[in-house]
Amino acid sequence: MEFLKMHGLGNDFVVVDEITNPSLANQSLPELGRKICDRRFGIGADGLVLLLPSSKADFRMRIINSDGSEAEMCGNAIRCVARYYVEKYKPTKRSLAVETLAGIIKPEVLENNLVRVDMGRPILKPQEIPVAVEEEPVNIPIEVLGQKFYFTAVSMGNPHAVIFVDSLAKIELEKIGPAIETHPLFPRKTNVEFVEIENSKKVKVLVWERGAGATLACGTGASAVVVAGRILGHLTEAVEVILPGGSLFINWNFGESVYMTGPAEIVFRGEYYL
């Protein structure tokens, strides 16, 4: 099986093109994802990303997390596959339509390995995120490991719990992250973002991804952070989101799509023996 190793701000993926040369038809994808993503016994990645044919878009993207679960959408992964597709298939346009479990997502490949993505409109209704609260999911109290936090729930096609804190230095991500991810308030688990505000145009974020754990960056997470920050009145329309792997630039006007801009890098090509 031929593959490409790519990353978006250190959120890394094994990318496999199944559009013209399918090789995984008889494979168990959860098991394969766990094996390939293992950093000692496999290639090593946060996720296995497949490009597949689509009848309603340029191609379809599937994402298998390192624990074998499937993600609806991943902002960093979609930037990577968009760059790959444009360089491999050389379409006449640089704006693409990509089918995902979260719907059709529209990335545009720019210069200097940057990709701008129309992430769609955020989902804010509790039952659609989903989060088990009746009221608007803004500043909801949650207690884990003897600590109390307040989260705002947002879906960018996948669920996020955004928590604003005074200092990221006080956050024990490896303990608190999984406790919130698997909390009963989140019937399909959740991604978790801890946010420290530098000013209304710049934030620092730590990410705990559902199914992958601590990652260096998360595109849907950065988008959810800005949506939550705008709802709470903390942030402006255009925000630099500083993640451990680098910065993403997010734009959101109320009632409109979220736009995310960031890099997509190719690391190496290789062959994996099934």
> In 10 A of CB 254, how many CB atoms?
9
Identity of the residue numbered 237: E
Phi, psi of 267 (to 5 degrees): -100, -55
The Cα 239–Cα 244 span in angstroms is: 16
Q: Where in the chain is the domain with CATH 3.10.310.10?
A: 2-108+263-271, 126-256
Provide the annotated active-site residues.
Answer: 74, 218
CATH for 2-108+263-271 is 3.10.310.10
**Strands 98-100 and 103-109, sheet pairing:** antiparallel
Q: What is the pLDDT of residues 137-181, one digit of tens each?
A: 999 999 999 999 999 999 999 999 999 999 999 999 999 999 999
pLDDT given at position 26? 85
Write down the pLDDT at residue 21: 82
Helix (H, G, I), strand (E, B) or coil at 26: coil
Q: Is 224 within 8 Å of 156 (Cβ atoms)?
A: yes
- In this prediction the pTM is 0.94
Cα torsion 99, 104, 110, 116: sign: negative
Binding residues for substrate: 11, 65, 75-76, 158, 191, 209-210, 219-220
Residue 215 CA to residue 12 CA, distance in Å, equals: 9
Tokens of 249: 């630039």
For the annotated binding site, the residues are 11, 65, 75-76, 158, 191, 209-210, 219-220
Contact 49, 16 (CB under 8 A): yes
- pLDDT tens by residue, 222-232: 999 999 999 99
Of the candidates 223, 79, 251, the residue with the CA atom closest to the CA atom of residue 160: 223
DSSP 126: G
Q: How far is residue 33 CA from its own chain's centroid?
A: 17
Q: How many CB atoms lie within 10 A of CB 273?
A: 4
Confidence (pLDDT) at 8: 98
Tens digit of pLDDT for each residue in 181-195? 999 999 999 999 999
What pLDDT does residue 223 have? 98
What pLDDT is recorded for position 52?
A: 98
Q: Percent of the chain beyond pLDDT 70?
A: 100
In the chain, pLDDT over 90 holds for what percent of residues?
Answer: 98
Burial of 21 (0-12, 13-18, 19+ CB in 10 A): exposed
Fold for 126-256, please state it: Diaminopimelate Epimerase; Chain A, domain 1 (3.10.310)
The two tokens of residue 229 are 């920050």
Three state DSSP letters for 188-235: CCCEEEEEEEEECCEEEEEEEECCCEEECCCHHHHHHHHHHHHHCCCC
Q: How far apart are CA 249 and CA 259, in angstroms?
A: 8
Cα gap 179→169, rounded to integer Å: 18
Rounded to an integer, the average pLDDT of 193-205 is 99
| Helix spans in 132-187 (H) | 173-181
pLDDT in tens, 12-48: 999 999 998 888 988 999 999 999 999 999 999 999 9
Backbone angles phi, psi at 3, to 5 degrees: -145, 165
